[in-house]
Structure 1
């Protein structure tokens, strides 16, 4: 997986705590192009990868990709931000605010996600500047009265108490990031089915939800 604070890692850890007998080896494969992860699955270097090839036609023929769950987004802001006291926010309320998402890189599925999200709701998503990691991002949010970012509802973030950051659910519609798992089409690891079933048991999205166009295409193709 991309990182150990992601929603996928959090849910997978929940599964492992309920099934500690599972021989699970979690590794991070920080590559921007999901085709590199698909090639690692194809070569047998890893059993599965939480990555998405948004054009299923370019997925290797012997690699399968299946939808596992959708991760609702939340707005993360500091205590002086105009939306810090909101219980929920809607996408139109975000249009006048700078949303800083460092680490958006070409050829990644999240680059395509944020391109479509920004276009769909006229949001000002800013990927400017180097990505110095989550701690620097959280520090910047705490010190700013106008900076915000987007995080997954299940993503694990920890910050000092004096940062007083606020996570605000986005509703009407819920904005969600679709998550897929890639694994060999033939003879996948026998432990994967139970893990996939665990992800499938998560609560579904509300009916009023937005997903990028490639989510439906990828889901329908595999």
Structure 2
């Protein structure tokens, strides 16, 4: 059914004259006549009765009119739903505890009227998350993706370089260190549960381990962040790696310690990926906010060779 023909029918019904409907719709009277004739042909009924003083609704026209109004109202709602800024900006933040989620949250705190919907698609790898952006499932995602793997139609901006820190329990040999070098971690077991083959952070940790001769593994089941904190608190030898901008919470009695890594400082390179033709105003504001507030990349930063520039 031609929506514009339905719109024309409602205009004629409201005004009772083809010319008045034409004036409202800014088309010719002949175009009004053609639209009405086409609509009546599609419905196989006469919707209007022509009289010397104008047009009146037929019995079928009276029956059709309330439905026609609902059709136009539905079309208006559909158009409004996809108008830039009318729907929430959907941003994949990977995990609600880590740096991208915290950065998006700070953006929202600075602009609380922004229509925003954070989602966590941490079960998807970078290629799958990028495909979700292309399909329109989400508007943007934070990923570490090599420049040569960014597909056509996607823009990537490296906006969040967060240094890694060592997280250990109070009995760990490095618990009281003010800072350590990555090379000093050789011989210590670093447990990062949840690493899965094919995920970009798996490639990152593999490059980190190879460069500095580290033992980084994901052995054993992953019972969640709380269980990881419990394990670290009780262990004199186990450590894990977290981002400086990640937000984890543990009981005060755990006495866990964050130890900065320097000389060099390993940095996880989060890029914001979005459709090149995306026009959502909140995305423009988010990008500007991240450019203004993102932490400065350390002068001694270490990144994998494949990290996007």
Q: Same fold (TM over 0.5)?
A: yes
Give 1 or 2 for the bigger CA radius of gyration: 2
Q: Which stretch of the first structure deviates more once superposed, 80-89 or 23-32?
A: 23-32
Equivalent of 2:186 in 59, 73, 95: 95
Q: Find the counterpart in structure 2 of residue 161 from structure 1.
A: 252
Q: 2:182 touches 2:212 (CA, 8 Å); kept in 1?
A: yes
Q: 1:68 touches 1:180 (CA, 8 Å); kept in 2?
A: yes
**Counterparts in 2 of 1:2 and 1:22: CA distance versus 1, 3 Å:** same
Q: Find the counterpart in structure 2 of residue 185 from structure 1.
A: 276
Q: Find the counterpart in structure 2 of residue 8 from structure 1.
A: 100
Which blocks of at least 5 consecutive residues in structure 2 are unaligned?
1-92
Q: Find the counterpart in structure 2 of residue 208 from structure 1.
A: 300
Q: Which stretch of the first structure deviates more once superposed, 152-161 or 185-194?
A: 185-194
Ranked by relative contact order (alpha carbons within 8 Å, sequence separation 6 or more), the top structure is 1
Q: 1:32 touches 1:107 (CA, 8 Å); kept in 2?
A: no
Q: Find the counterpart in structure 2 of residue 127 from structure 1.
A: 218
Matched residue SS, 2:270: strand
Q: Find the counterpart in structure 2 of residue 194 from structure 1.
A: 285
Q: Distance in 1 between matches of 2:196 and 2:108?
A: 31
Q: Distance in 2 between matches of 1:124 and 1:208?
A: 22
1:168-222, Cα deviation, whole Å (9 max, x unpaired): 111111111000111111134221122122222223122111011111xx22xxx
Matches within 5 A, 1:8-157: 8-54=100-146, 56-157=147-248
- Over the aligned positions, Cα root-mean-square deviation in angstroms equals 1.3
Moved over 6 A (4+): none
Shift, 1:149, TM fit: 0.3
Shift, 1:6, TM fit: 0.7
Q: Distance in 2 between matches of 1:124 and 1:37?
A: 28
Q: 1:47 touches 1:188 (CA, 8 Å); kept in 2?
A: no
Matched residue SS, 1:80: coil
Give the alignment's TM-score, normalised by structure 2: 0.67
More helix as a share of residues: 2
Q: 2:94 touches 2:101 (CA, 8 Å); kept in 1?
A: no
Equivalent pairs, count: 216
